[in-house]
Each structure stands twice: as structure tokens, then as C-alpha cells.
A = this chain, B = another copy of it.
Amino acid sequence: METLEGITGRSLTVAELVDVLRSAIVGGDLVPNQRLVEADLASEYGASRGNIRAALAELTVEGLVERVQNRGARVRAVSVEEAVEITEVRAALEALCARKAAERITEGEAAELQELAGRMKDAVERGDRDSYSECNQILHARVIDISAQQTAAATIHRLRGQAVRFQFRLARQPGRPAVSLPQHLAIIDAVCAHNPDAAADAMRVHLESVADVIRSTHT
């Protein structure tokens, strides 16, 4: 892989570095607890150490990186307990979004969600995990989108980045689609039926069940 610096000839800005490093952490190129030595990252990504340093400071506030005084930065390792907490917070926030989405949804958007429901049923019948997983992500994103809640959306997005490793494992669990499909369909039904309370409950139940699965992997 060629670095961006190698291609463009200029060095990366702080904002670009934040994006690049965030992707590297969320994407798993930088693994939990891995040390992030400023000088190494600087030569790796073709940036000055000062900019690397600034980027690490921002990612620390985002919760992706952990720093201790005079001892440098590491990729933050999220414990199972913490992943459960994060998922519970997501449950509360996405339930809020589902509630607002049920209040605001248009007929066009409802038709779109119904079509998505069809694709999800199909995918489960065919045993197509990748397609189902994709629909899953689209559903959650669409509900947040329709809710038009900027603050909740930003918070959910940040938390997702921290726990993405656990989500990933989850989707591969055998028998998981059979459990989650009816939950997803219940969310779609309630949102499309303009039923805020039912939509919030359905979303909360769904993500609480995700939290339970994560909890159970702790043993």
C-alpha cells in the first residue's frame, strides 16, 4: 500500500490524519493495546510528529486511544463489561431515534423500510449472512436518519466505533439471524405504523438482546 503522502507529494494535515488513524483502529489494522509511538506513526504515514500528536489527542477524546502522561498512547482495549455498557447506551439512544422516526416517517420512507424487511426475510431464508448483515446495518442507519436527531446520531456513531470489534463477532454467531429477524421486523412495523412507544420498545428490546449476547460471551 502506498501512503497518501507518497501519491500527493505533500504531507497529511491533522484532520486527514485523524480520519486515517480512526479507520486504521476501527478497521483493525491497529489492534487493541498496540503502542502508538509518535515517531513511528510519523514516518509510517508520512506526516510530522506534531500532527500525529495532535491527531492522537483528538482520538483520545473520542475514546479510541488511551494516553498516559509521558508514557505514550495505545489503542484503547474495550473490555466485555464496557462493550455491554456501550450497547446499553446505544439501546437507549436508538430507542429514542426509533420513537422520533415513528413520529416523522413519510410514506415513501415507510415503503423503503418495508422493502428492506422483504430483503431481510429473503436473506435469512436463503441463509445469506452477508446480505442480512448489510440490511441490518442499513436498517439501523435509516432509522437514525429518519429520526433527524443530530445529537443522538453523533453519539451513537462515536460509541459504535469503540465497540465495533464486538459487533463484528456477533454477526457470525450461528442461529443469531433467527433471533434477530423478528426483532427487526417488529421495529419496522412499529415505525411504519407511526407508533412511537412500540418502536422505542422494539428497538430497546432488540439492542438489549445484543447486549445479552455480548455479556454471555464473557463466561
Which residues of A come within 8 Å of B, CB atoms?
Answer: 14-15, 53-54, 57-58, 60-62, 69, 82, 85-86, 88-89, 91-93, 95-96, 149-152, 155, 159
User: Can you give 16 A-B contacts (C-beta < 8 A)?
Assistant: A15-B69, A54-B57, A58-B60, A61-B61, A61-B62, A85-B149, A88-B96, A89-B93, A89-B96, A89-B155, A91-B96, A92-B152, A93-B93, A151-B159, A155-B155, A155-B159
For A152, the chain B residues whose CB sits under 8 A away are: 85, 88-89, 92
Residues on the B chain within 8 Å of A151, using CB: 82, 85-86, 88-89, 159
Q: Which residue of B lies closest to A150 (CB)?
A: B85
Q: How many copies does the complex hold?
A: 2
Report the separation of the CA atoms of residues A162 and B39 in the bound assembly, to the nearest whole angstrom: 35
Most chain-B CB neighbours within 10 Å: which of A53, A54, A151, A159? A151
Q: State the CA gap A50–B136 with chains docked (Å).
A: 44
Task: Verify A88–B58 contact, CB threshold 8 A.
Answer: no
Specify which chain B residues have a CB less than 8 angstroms from the CB of A58 in the assembled complex. Answer: 57-58, 60-61
Question: What is the bound-complex CA distance between A57 and B54, given in angstroms?
Answer: 8
**Residues B96 and A92 in contact, CB atoms below 8 Å apart:** yes
9 additional contacts (CB under 8 A) given A15-B69, A54-B57, A89-B151: A14-B57, A53-B54, A57-B57, A82-B150, A82-B151, A85-B152, A92-B93, A151-B159, A155-B155
Q: Which of B60, B86, B92, B159 contacts A95 (CB 8 A)?
A: B92
A10 to chain B, nearest CB (A): 15
Cβ-closest chain B residue relative to A163: B151
Chain B residue numbers with a CB within 8 Å of A155 are 89, 155, 159
Instruction: Output the residue of A91, A92, A149, A155 with the most chain B CB within 10 A.
Output: A92
Q: Give the distance in Å from the alpha carbon of A57 to the alpha carbon of B18 in the complex.
A: 12
| Closest B residue, CB atoms, query A154 | B63
A53 proximity list for chain B (CB < 8 A): 54
Taken together as a complex, chains A and B put the C-alpha atoms of A96 and B91 apart, in Å, by 9
